[in-house]
C-alpha cells in the first residue's frame, strides 16, 4: 500500500510539473523590466484637449509637438499619409488657416501598458468660415517615459447617410 501511495505521489508531482511548464510557455517572461504607467480615461481624454489647444494656437509646430518622432498622421483633408515631422507641419500649416477647433461627440478609450487608444466622432468648427465638419477619429498614444505622444492619428469625414 505504501508503495502505491509513493508511486501515486510521484506521478502527481510529475504531472504537476508538466502542467506548470506548459503554463510558463504561454505567459510573458516574468523578468520583464517594462513598468506600466498608471493612467485613467480622464487623463487620456485630456490629451485631445491638449492637441485641440495647440490647434487653436495657430502654430503648426506646437501641434506637431504632440506627435512622437516615429508616428503617422492620416489626415482628414489630404490623401497623403504624413510620416515625418516636416510633412505633419506642412499639413497643419494649411489646416490651421481656417482656425479649426474640435469637439468630441462620442468617445471610446482603451488603455494598455504605456499605450492608449482614443477613438470616436468629433466635429470641427472653423472660425474663419463658420463651417462645421463631422468626422471619425482615432488617436494611439504611447508613454515615452515622461509624456504621452501620438503614434498614430487617423481622421476622416463622416460618410453620407443613406
Any idea what the CATH number is for the domain that residue 109 is in?
Answer: 3.10.450.50
Name the residue range of residue 74's domain: 41-157
C-alpha cell at 96: 490651421
**Residue 137: inside a domain, yes or no?**
yes
**Number of structural domains in the chain:** 1
Beta strands in the chain (DSSP E): 67-74, 100-111, 115-126, 132-143, 148-157
When comparing pLDDT for 161 and 75, which is higher?
75
Residue 13, pLDDT score: 40
Residue 154, pLDDT score: 98
Residue 32, pLDDT score: 66
Cα separation, 62 vs 17, in Å, equals: 57
Residue 17, pLDDT score: 42
Cα radius of gyration rounded to whole Å, the chain: 25
**Residue 31: inside a domain, yes or no?**
no
**Residue 53: inside a domain, yes or no?**
yes
**Residue 29: inside a domain, yes or no?**
no
**Residue 17: inside a domain, yes or no?**
no
**Residue 10: inside a domain, yes or no?**
no
Residue 87, pLDDT score: 98
- Model pTM score: 0.78
Residue 153, pLDDT score: 98
84-92 long-range contacts, Cβ below 8 Å, gap at least 24? 88/60, 88/63, 88/64, 89/60, 89/61, 89/63, 89/64, 90/60, 92/55, 92/60, 92/63, 92/64
* Residue range 10-46, pLDDT digits in tens: 443 433 344 334 433 334 444 568 899 999 999 999 9
Pairing of strands 100-111, 67-74: unpaired
Amino acid at each position: 500500500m505504501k508503495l502505491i501511495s509513493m508511486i501515486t505521489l510521484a506521478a502527481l508531482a510529475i504531472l504537476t510539473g508538466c502542467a506548470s511548464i506548459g503554463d510558463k510557455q504561454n505567459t510573458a517572461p516574468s523578468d520583464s523590466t517594462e513598468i506600466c504607467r498608471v493612467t485613467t480615461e480622464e487623463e487620456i481624454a485630456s490629451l485631445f484637449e491638449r492637441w485641440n489647444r495647440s490647434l487653436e494656437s495657430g502654430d503648426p509646430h506646437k501641434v506637431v509637438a504632440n506627435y512622437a518622432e516615429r508616428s503617422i498622421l492620416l489626415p482628414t483633408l489630404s490623401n497623403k499619409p504624413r510620416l515625418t515631422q516636416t510633412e505633419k507641419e506642412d499639413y497643419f500649416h494649411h489646416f490651421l488657416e481656417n482656425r479649426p477647433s474640435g469637439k468630441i461627440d462620442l468617445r471610446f478609450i482603451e488603455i494598455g501598458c504605456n499605450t492608449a487608444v482614443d477613438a470616436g466622432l468629433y466635429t470641427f468648427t472653423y472660425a474663419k468660415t463658420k463651417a462645421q465638419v463631422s468626422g471619425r477619429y482615432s488617436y494611439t498614444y504611447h508613454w515615452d517615459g515622461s509624456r504621452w505622444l501620438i503614434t498614430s492619428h487617423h481622421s476622416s469625414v463622416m460618410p453620407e447617410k443613406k
